[in-house]
Each structure stands twice: as structure tokens, then as C-alpha cells.
Structure 1
Amino acid sequence: MNKKLQVALVKALEKASVPWVKSPRCDSDGAQDYCWLPVLALSEGRVRVGVLSNGLWVVANDRCIHILPEGDPCIFLLPVLESSPQVVLSLLVKGFREGGLSEEYVDLFPFEAIVFTALKSNSEYWSGLGLEWVEFIARSPDLQVVLENLSRESVTQKIRHQAKKMAKFK
């Protein structure tokens, strides 16, 4: 993650007059509300994603939010992969603009972590979607290792072959 850009986002959120939404955490007693800025809605609003004032990402449902600590698997963000990368990117840009923020903060969205979570999921469905997104994200050495492992150890032959093909084309 780009720490400099993360710091800039937090500063921009502090200064901006953004349309904050208040919600409790899903894994708490609901006594404390957290302020977050919605930046992405997919699947007719079923998947709502936002950012906290401290720059952490959240996924919201009708009652509460899941805060996604940096480095944790992005299980709650897997449904993002059900849309095309172009759609997700354009909606994120729109969401930041509507919040009065620069579109450059889209670069902080954990695309790679979502794809990693999908590829490591042992699910043909999520692995397949993750493979479709591989071309969209920058190919890091860690991603190359995950693709090579998937090409040998996936639960289905179809995913193994797709991963092997992707691993060859760095």
C-alpha cells in the first residue's frame, strides 16, 4: 500500500465536508457508531463499500459495517469480483468524486488483496473470478507465486489449467 497516498487520504477526509454515514461494527455490541464515506455500491446495493476517516476500508450491510484491517483477507469484498474491473473502477472514481475527494485515492483500493483472497479460497467460483481479474492488477512476485501454486494445487482441473496459462504470461 502507498503510505504517502494513505496519509493524504486521511488528511483530505479530515478537511473535506463529506457525506458521512454512521453505522455500528458488526462484531460489536453496537454501542459505538463509526463514520464512513460510501464510495462503491454493487449488485443493486447488496455490496456497499466505503472508507473510514482513518483510511480503512469497510463493507456495509443494512445494519452494520465490517472494518477491513490492512493485510487481512478480503472475504467481505469478494463480491466485487462479480463485476468487471472497468465497472468497479469507474464506480470507485465516481464515489470519490461525489464525496468531494480526488480520484487518485482509487489506487488505495485493495484490488490485489481481493484477488489473492479469491485465488486462495479453494472455491472454483471465486478462483475463477480471481483469475479473470489477474490481468487487471499489477503482476507482483507474490501474485506470480500464488498463480504457480494454484496451477499445481487447485481443486479443479479447469482452474489449474487457467492458472498455469496465466502464470506463463507474466
Structure 2
Amino acid sequence: MKENLKMTFAKDLEALVIPWNKSPQCDSEKAQDYYWLPILDLSEGRAKVGITPEGVWGIAKDGCIRILSDERSYVFLLPILEKSPQAAFSLIAEGFINIGLSREYLDLFPFEGVILAALKSNSEYWSSMGLQWVGLFVRTPELQVSLEVLSREGATQEVRHRARKLARYR
């Protein structure tokens, strides 16, 4: 199902007739520029989360864009977990609508990657934020393993207990 959505998304992105932003890639030895469209402001407007024509997510800050290509890069999206899930979903859906796309593409936002980054962060704050979001999504094996690890190695007893409780109830 998600593969069909990704294919439709790619076609809809290609069909957009609006100007794309162009920014160099952050921390890159190659001077590669990326085209992207902003979807939402993050960190009180200091960063913009956007999408490339290929459907890859990125975060633009300080005049460059960081492509979110691996698990470690999702730490840059952790501030989205500070919003209520409803507020975050609404902001992202609104961002799609503002550029002429359907809100159904909200399902393609990398929430799982962000939650995993929070759970693996070794931070009491971010682990707690991630735990608040875990129950909203289908439990993948990777999320389950992260919960089990956090239940043993979490920063505080409270985090470990919450993770243990969530790990038990799939």
C-alpha cells in the first residue's frame, strides 16, 4: 500500500508547477545542490522541513539542506515530538496542501525514524518524548527491539518502566 502511495507521490511532485528552493547540501565534500519544497517550520522557524523532487525528506537550516538519509540524520527532526501528535499531523498535512498536494501523503513522513532516534538518543527527555508517540503507529520489529533495549538501558527508572510497559503491550 505504501509503495503505491510513494509512486503517486512521485508523480504528483513531478507535476507541481511551483518554484522549488535550491540549497547546497550541508556538510558535504561535494558541492551538490538540492531542489526542495518547504513543508513545515521546525524549531520556531529556525529550520524548515522539506521534500525533494525524488520524495526524500530534508531539513534546511543556515542556508543549506541536510538530506535525511539514515537513522542518525533523524535526530534533526526530534523537535517535532515536542508538538502534540494532532498538531504535528495538522502542520504536515497543511504543508502538503499549501504546495498543492494531498494530505494523504502525511503517511510518508518518517515518523518511525524520528521515534527510533528519540528512543536511541540516551537522553531522558527525548526518550520520554518518543515513548509518548510509540503507541500511535504500527509496531515494527525495530520499534519493539528499541523498546526492549530502552526498558533495560533507559536513562532513568521512569523511562525504563514506561518502555517495559509499552514493550509488553504490542
Partner of 1:72: 71
Distance 1:19 1:158 in 2: 48
Moved more, 86-95 or 17-26: 17-26
Task: Kindly indicate whether residue 46 of structure 2 is the aligned counterpart of residue 46 of structure 1.
Answer: yes
Distance 2:141 2:29 in 1: 41
Please list every run of at least 4 consecutive aligned residues from structure 1 whose deviation after the TM superposition is greater than 6 angstroms: none
| Unaligned segments of structure 1, at least 5 residues | none
Pairs within 5 Å for 1:14-163: 14-28=14-28, 31-69=31-69, 71-73=70-72, 74-163=74-163
Q: Give the TM-score taking structure 2 as reference length.
A: 0.91
Distance 2:76 2:96 in 1: 20
How much has 1:140 moved relative to structure 2?
2.1
How much has 1:132 moved relative to structure 2?
0.9
- SS of 2:136's partner is coil
**Matched-pair contact (CA < 8 Å) for 2:124–2:159:** yes
Partner of 2:8: 8
**Matched-pair contact (CA < 8 Å) for 1:17–1:100:** no
Q: RMSD value over aligned CA atoms? A: 1.8
Kindly provide the amino acid, as one letter, of the partner of residue 135 in structure 1.
Answer: G
Kindly provide the amino acid, as one letter, of the partner of residue 72 in structure 1.
Answer: E
- SS of 2:45's partner is coil
Q: Give the TM-score taking structure 1 as reference length.
A: 0.91
Distance 1:52 1:109 in 2: 13
Distance 2:112 2:33 in 1: 29
**Matched-pair contact (CA < 8 Å) for 2:71–2:117:** no
